[in-house]
Structure 1
Amino acid sequence: MHIDFIIQRFKESAKDEAIIWNDTVYDYQHLIDRYEFWLNFLQTKTKASSVVAVRADYNPDSISLMLALIENGNIFVPFSFANKDIDEKIESAEVEYYIKFDTKGDFEFIETGIDATHELINELKVRKNPGVIVFSSGSTGKPKAALHDYTHLLNKFRTKRATLRTITFLLFDHWGGINTLLYILSNTGVIGVPSIRSAEEVCEFVEKYKIELLPTTPTFLNLILISKAYLKFDITSLKVVSYGTEMMPESTLKAFNKLFPDITLKQTYGLTELGVMRTKSESNDSLWVKVGGEDYKTKVVDNVLFIKAKTSILGYLNAASPFDSEGWYDTGDRVEQKGEYIRFLGRENDIINVGGQKVFPAEVESVLMQIDNINEASVYGTTNPIMGNVVAVKIIIEKDESLNKLKGKIRKFCKDKLESYKIPVHVEIVEQTTVSERFKKIRN
């Protein structure tokens, strides 16, 4: 009923490659078989419209289970292996059943004893529509349980489009990862699941399976550049690298584009509360981008992006509604405008206030990473009794260099490229900067 169009496409492509997992290629007939198993399992083991959490990475069974949950009208709560505080999130999402996969694909089925009674969940049950609950990152406080009506999200996949051989780099519970997965499946493309998400492993996987699309983060792209894994493995099968989830330093974008001018670099934009929007970059090495699509309206108020979407969440299960009286959502993203294009400057909560002047870490990082011998820079604010805050940075260097020499190089290089209050006052050389399990930079 809900995904008949997807299953029909699977049947038409039954003998085609579908998933590469654990160095084994599975066809679409295998997905159909496992989908039918899981549909029967859910109808036998769970109540109608119940809330079911799944902890997994992408594998043939977890993917087939997700599709079966949609078709069966369940509310799906994905958790990746990297997800923390799952017990607390199970309570927030009112999870009634919990299916835990291990890395081999074996699973455990648990009845939690929880009865889902939240008014938003009941609203979805009355509609008899499937749902999905995705948790926010919690970077600005307690992770919020955002409830979507899955039927709204599926509409954009009904029109069949071209697809590429794609790595599922973003995690099982990442909104961009779910969107990519549904796009590839609905167009009967090929999904590749690397066993380890490291620069070397991913580049090797790209070479071995002729991967064409890598959806990733700016931090991971820079790790590829630093590691020089692209010299060890041939990644020229890549046609598109899409990036999002955090700010892209312009220097990283230009460096990657210079090395791989034939790879299209595409900036993506999506939010847990709204879904993933269509984007169009001004050029391959430009951070200017158009954001929107037929289901979205955008406006900029005081340099902050606001969005109204047909695919908005029904609401949070553990927090107040994030929308104003007219349905607009404050993204918290600072932008500048140029005609139809915008350029993201940074999140409002990342801004460093130096004596009343605003500093965006990504701007400073982009300049610093142009300096010889600097591989990575992580900029953050640190308290100062006079200015309130000053700019600090943790630096990874390629070759040994004294701290005093490095500080001098930074001051000299930045003098005519940054206002004086943006130039780092505190500089620290480190072996590695802090990166989350989702390959996003953690500034501290």
Structure 2
Amino acid sequence: MKWLLDRFGEHTDTIAFIHNDRKVSYGEVGALVNGFSRRVQEAGVRPGHKVVIVGDFSPEVVCLILALGLDRCIVIPLTRESVIEQDVALGVSGADWIAEFDPAGREFSLAEKQVPVENVLLSQFLVKERAGLILFSSGSTGAPKGILHDFEQVAEKFRVQRAPMVTIPFLMIDHFGGINTILAITSSLGTVITVDDRSIAKVASAIERYKVELLPVTPSFLNIMLMMRAHEDYDLSSIKRITYGTEVMPQVTLDRLMKAFPGVQLQQTYGLSEVGVLRSKSRPDGSLWLKVGGEGFRTEVRDEVLWIKSDYRMEGYLNAPSGFDDEGWFNTQDRVEVDGEWLRILGRVTDIINVGGQKVYPVEVEEVILGIENVEDVVVLGEPHKILGQIVAAKIRVREPETIESLKLRVRLACKALLAPYKAPSKIIVTDEPLNSVRQKKIRSVAGSRTQPSSPDGNLES
């Protein structure tokens, strides 16, 4: 990873970060990385030590991550809004040190935190004397998995320099996509615009003020941004490219996006924490078909499920079987359609709703409901049913107050016109709670919602 610091040193005056109006050059980044390296070494941190970093995107947080990587430590980034509790995470990964940043992200305390864990995979990796990176899955389909990467190998993907862009890193530092975005921007000597919260207004204001060119976000975030008409309230004309991924994009949202941002390149991305982020190309017909691959990646489809072989794959899970077959292929669990060299992602196998043996993909129902007037957002999921196995349930947020009877009628009429009967929601839940996680992905769980009492037919009464 020294090549990255060398690159920074050749462009010391270029602005690397703008954080809360504070500009930090690549020369300052290099000085921070070297200073942090000296500080942690003087405290007793050694190669192979596991160091937990608690913070969010700021120049200093990124510089500490790079410093520890250069010192061949095992970096465990967590945020205060991580999808996994700290004690649970460290019970999987173990720890030697913890660095906690203040809310401003500028100062950190460093203390020993001995959490011994016996792990064969980690012990084998430590023999290599290379920098490591441990991230955690969201746990949406079970217990969170600890994912071990060779940090140097992750960074190596970006050695070939790309065109610099001004970018807001939307995904957090505890997410592979967040680390990937930061490495992509800084290795190309672009400018990272970091914001202290990811509200629509805050992000849109930063885009307007700093002329952001690249916006990498989730479909859920884009849907809310369009619903709030941020493109009308703020000057977002600097955006050249919007990339979206981590979950399936509804076609109705993509159509609205194309209308709101004419001339902007819209690119669907695809990647997994286990194998890395692939190169992607969206079909230019405004559809959700794409090509994925690129140098270091191979793909194939088996029984309608996408498998990937990657040079940038994880070392393995710390607390689960590897997920790779004997030849190194990884089962993504993503169901796909194939049209020659083009793919269309239908959704995770684990998200498919089985209604009496009939398969329902949540996104196809969400697309219909999102097109209904007064619907702000929706998430579709399966609920257990004694006879059918599962039924389709829809949790809906509305823009303006509306009687449940009126909404139910309009949802049923729209679904009847466009979907097979078994795909129409049998249960409709109106909620004022967020339908997306802190990672701005759909929460496909009914538990925890504040809803009205259910009527005998499973729908909600007003």
**TM-score normalised by structure 1 residue count:** 0.96
Q: Provide the rounded CA distance (Å) in 1 between the counterparts of 2:404 and 2:91.
A: 49
* Residue deviations 1:57-93 (CA, integer Å, cap 9, x gap): 1112111111111111111111122113112212311
2:199 corresponding residue in structure 1: 198
One-letter amino acid of the structure 1 residue matched with residue 286 of structure 2: D
Q: State whether residues 11 and 29 of structure 1, in contact with CA within 8 Å, keep that contact through their aligned partners in structure 2.
A: yes
Aligned to 2:7: 9
Give how far 1:97 is off: 1.1
Return closer, same or farther for 1:40/1:117 CA change in 2, 3 Å cut-off.
Answer: farther
Alignment of structure 1 residues 43-54 onto 2, 5 Å: 43-44=41-42, 45-54=44-53
- Please tell me whether residue 97 in structure 1 is matched to residue 97 in structure 2: yes
Mark the runs of 5 or more structure 1 residues left unpaired by the alignment. none
Preserved CA contact (<8 Å) 2:91 2:117? no
Hey, what does 1:210 align to over in structure 2? 211
Q: In the TM superposition, what are the counterparts of 1:23-102 in structure 2 within 5 Å? A: 23-44=21-42, 45-83=44-82, 84-102=84-102
For structure 2, the 5+ residue unaligned runs are: 447-462
Task: Give SS of 1:415's match.
Answer: helix
CA distance in 2, matches of 1:384, 1:49: 50
- Given the superposition, is the C-alpha separation of residues 365 and 35 from structure 1 closer, same or farther in structure 2, using an over 3 Å criterion? same
- Tell me which amino acid in the other structure corresponds to 1:27: S
The equivalent residue for 2:457 is none
Matched residue type, 2:103: T
**1:373-411 deviation line (CA, Å, top 9, x unaligned):** 222221122233432222121222233433223222222
Matches within 5 A, 1:247-396: 247-283=248-284, 285-396=286-397
Give the residue type in structure 2 aligned to 1:292. G
Contact 1:50/1:116, CA 8 A, preserved across alignment: no
Give the superposed CA RMSD: 1.6
Paired with 2:424 and 2:116, the residues of 1 have a C-alpha distance of 54
User: What secondary structure is seen at the aligned counterpart in 1 of 2:220?
Assistant: helix
Q: Tell me the CA shift for residue 22 of structure 1.
A: 1.9
Structure 1 residues 412 and 88 mapped into 2: Cα distance closer, same or farther (>3 Å)? closer
Distance 1:72 1:284 in 2: 47
TM-score (norm 2): 0.92
Alpha-carbon separation, structure 2, partners of 1:394 and 1:321: 34
Structure 1 Cα separation of the partners of residues 48 and 429 of structure 2: 53
430-439 or 273-282, larger mean C-alpha shift: 430-439
Alignment partner of 1:372: what SS?
Answer: coil
Corresponding residue SS for 2:66: helix
Question: What is the deviation of 1:284?
Answer: 6.6
Q: CA deviation at 1:117?
A: 5.4
The percent identity for this pair of structures is 41
Deviations 1:217-242 (A, max 9, x none): 11111110121222221111111111
Equivalent-residue separation in structure 2 for 1:85 and 1:433 (angstroms): 20
Deviation at residue 331 of structure 1 after TM alignment: 0.9
1:148-227, aligned counterparts within 5 Å?
148-227=149-228
In the other structure, the counterpart of 2:412 is 411
Answer whether contact 2:378 2:435 (CA < 8 A) is retained: no
Give the distance between the partners of 1:366 and 1:25, measured in 2 at CA.
Answer: 41
Question: 1:345 offset after TM fit, Å?
Answer: 0.7
